[in-house]
Amino acid sequence: MRTILNFPRWLYAGIVFIVICVAGLLALRNTDQQREQMIANLKDRADVLIWALEGSARAMGRMGQNHLPELLEEIGDEPDVAYMAILDGQGRILIHSDSAESGNLRRLPPLHEEMDKEPSVSRGTFITDGEKPLYEVWKIFAPKRPGPVFAPGDPRLTRRWLHPTRKWPWDEGRFYIAVGMDASHFEPRLRRYVAQTMMMAALITAAGLAGIALLFFFQNYKRSRRMLEDTQALAEQVISNLPVGLVVTDLHGKISLRNRPAEQILGIPHEQENHPPLQDLTFFDWRSLMDELDSGGLILEKELDAFASKTRNMPVSLSAAKLTDSEGGKSGYLFILRDLDEVRRLRRQVKLNERLSALGNLAAGVAHEIRNPLSSIKGYATYLTEKVKEDKMAHATGMILIQETDRLNRVVSDLLSVAKPLNLRIESASITPLLQQAIRLITPEAEENMVTVELDLPPEQTPQKDRIMLDADRFTQALLNLLVNAVQAAGGAGSGGTVRLTLEKTTEHGGPEFLAVSVSDNGQGIAPRDMENLFTPYFTTKATGTGLGLTIAQRIIEQHGGEIKVYSRQGQGAAFTILLPVTAEPRGSDA
Ligand code: ADP
């Protein structure tokens, strides 16, 4: 099919030429055949008249009569017969349908010699008699002697047969018979037929040309369609293999195209065939993005914290543009999304490493030097505070001294935890008692901050199911760091502060199983600009904060092969989720 359709153009010109030639030749041939047919008809009619006359002549001969002049006159009156005549060998008219012509001389037709060779065959030719066109048929007039010649006395000889001795007038000499057929209708009829044939030929040619044109257009259509399909297939391949998410919408935000990475970023299941409306995806504030594009803006690599799910923020780089149709009118919007989770994690890691290396050098020397005098200070402070038990003012001051020394000691411990390698003691442990213990440890601080702490465990929790390989002390330390932050954040919100500790088993995208321990609060949440700095050593927004709690927690959890995910909406609280792989081997010590 493809090869037929890929004819070069000159071939089409050739086909057109051939169609015209064939139609023309057919028309000519038809015209010739028609002409021959019409002549044959005229001649047949003339032959019949000659045959009838010869027959009559024979009959008259037998009867010894000669009514040929009257007969010719009768025949001459026939509407399509112009004349009929019998001539002798010199061209003298013996009998003529118009008796006035009898005795005149006529020039014999040039074909009379041919007729002499074949006397039984008649010959026809066109002539004009004055204005009138005639078709003249000539034949040698020789009505045969009728019947067999029997010997006299033969019993078969009856009176029906001419006596053999009787003289037959046409036996001696040469005679011709000529019939002139009226051919005045011949040419107009032929012309009409030619006109009809030409019309048919023109119609056939037109049909042929239309067929060829159709073939040509069909070929072009097929080629254009194939090109379109190829281009579409290429575009689809390019779009689906792009390493970034691509979403195209119409003017009302209805998605018309999306690729796989976009589905993953926006959380649209790949099996879902129909596109959800953009407004249903609470990922971004799409309307304001579209308004920004409508007001002539172009969004380039804008870093946004999108809400990938109810428990997860996703840093996304967004580029967007307005789409226009072929006439320059607005046709929709194009959004290009890039997941920055990994980029942010790496950035954070780099920052962390920088700070840790600085911290490591400092902490190792300084922290050790501070710890010894600090324990002396605490010992003396405790001793002196005991001594002034009766003096309330002095006792309170002493207590502050002890608390502040404790705080200082904690800072130093934190500093050492960050700088020192973690030597994990990994054992199989049940996680529920660890969570309950953490709740017990945080309760005094929670009460102080008027915060309620709740523990949510999955209903089907059994001792076998919640066992996991971990360093229980370190895990509790990490969890406490998160709980302390949550209690402080929820406490800042005044009364009604709540912290919820939940445990559940989860799998992400059908991957390995994780234990997810979430600490969520209803505090003020985290400002988007601070999201990137979380887990960075010394990053704190608190007046008395050290900025080490999250760093230490993350370090411990990462050593267990897990990770901490953060979700926060400013003004609506925050959730920190520790994900611990259930099957994976913990990394153990980072020494
Ligand atoms: P610190 O608590 O000493 O500031 P962290 O590393 O524990 O140090 O926390 C760093 C910062 O992260 C905090 O200062 C705070 O701004 C922010 N943060 C941590 N947890 C929360 C939370 N639950 N709610 C709001 N902000 C938080």
Give the ranges where 420-517 is alpha helix by DSSP (H): 431-448, 472-491
**Reported confidence tier of residue 13, pLDDT bands at 50, 70, 90:** confident
Q: How far apart are CA 526 and CA 564, in angstroms?
A: 15
β-strand 563-568 against 513-521: which pairing, if any?
Answer: unpaired
Pairwise CA distance, residues 403 & 292, whole Å:
54
Cβ–ligand 1 contact at 482 (below 6 Å) = no
Most informative mutation of 411, 453, 477, 485 for ligand 1 (most atoms within 8 A of CB): 485
Check pocket membership of 537 for ligand 1, CB cut-off 6 A. no
| pLDDT of res. 590 | 45
pLDDT in tens, 76-129: 898 899 999 999 888 899 999 998 988 898 888 776 677 777 778 888 888 887
Kindly give the distance from the C-alpha atom of residue 552 to the centroid of ligand 1, in angstroms, as a whole number: 12
Q: Kindly report the pTM of this predicted structure.
A: 0.48
Read off the pLDDT of each residue in 387-392 and give the average, rounded to a whole number. Answer: 90
Residues of the chain with pLDDT > 70, as a percent, come to: 86
- Is the pLDDT confidence value at 437 over 60? yes
| pLDDT of 311 higher than 60 | no
Q: How far is the CA of 20 from the centre of ligand 1 (A)?
A: 92
Q: What is the pLDDT of residue 553?
A: 93
As a whole number of angstroms, the distance between CA 257 and CA 277 comes to 12
143 lines ligand 1 (CB under 6 A): no
Whether residue 376 is predicted with pLDDT greater than 80 in this model: the reply is yes
Query: Which residue is it, tokens 């088993």?
Result: 505
Sequence-distant (≥ 6) Cβ neighbours of residue 574 within 8 angstroms: 486, 489, 520, 521, 523, 525, 526, 566, 567, 568
Would you say the CB of residue 545 lies under 6 angstroms from ligand 1? yes
| Structure confidence by residue, pLDDT tens digits, 456-502 | 888 765 555 678 889 998 899 999 999 999 999 998 766 789 999 99
Atom index in ligand 1 nearest the CA of residue 534 equals 12
Ligand 1 centre to CA of 540 (Å) is 6
- What ligand 1 atom has the least distance to the C-alpha of 525? 25
**Pick the residue with more confidence: 547 or 59?**
547
Distance 100 CA to ligand 1 centre (A): 144
pLDDT reading at 288 higher than 70: yes
Mutate to test the pocket of ligand 1, among 348, 538, 550 (most ligand atoms within 8 A of CB): 550
pLDDT tens digits for range 325-375: 878 788 889 999 988 888 877 887 787 777 777 777 677 677 778 888 888
| 519-553: pLDDT as tens digits | 999 999 999 889 888 988 889 999 888 888 998 89
In 3D, which of 82, 110, 112 has the Cα closest to residue 96? 82
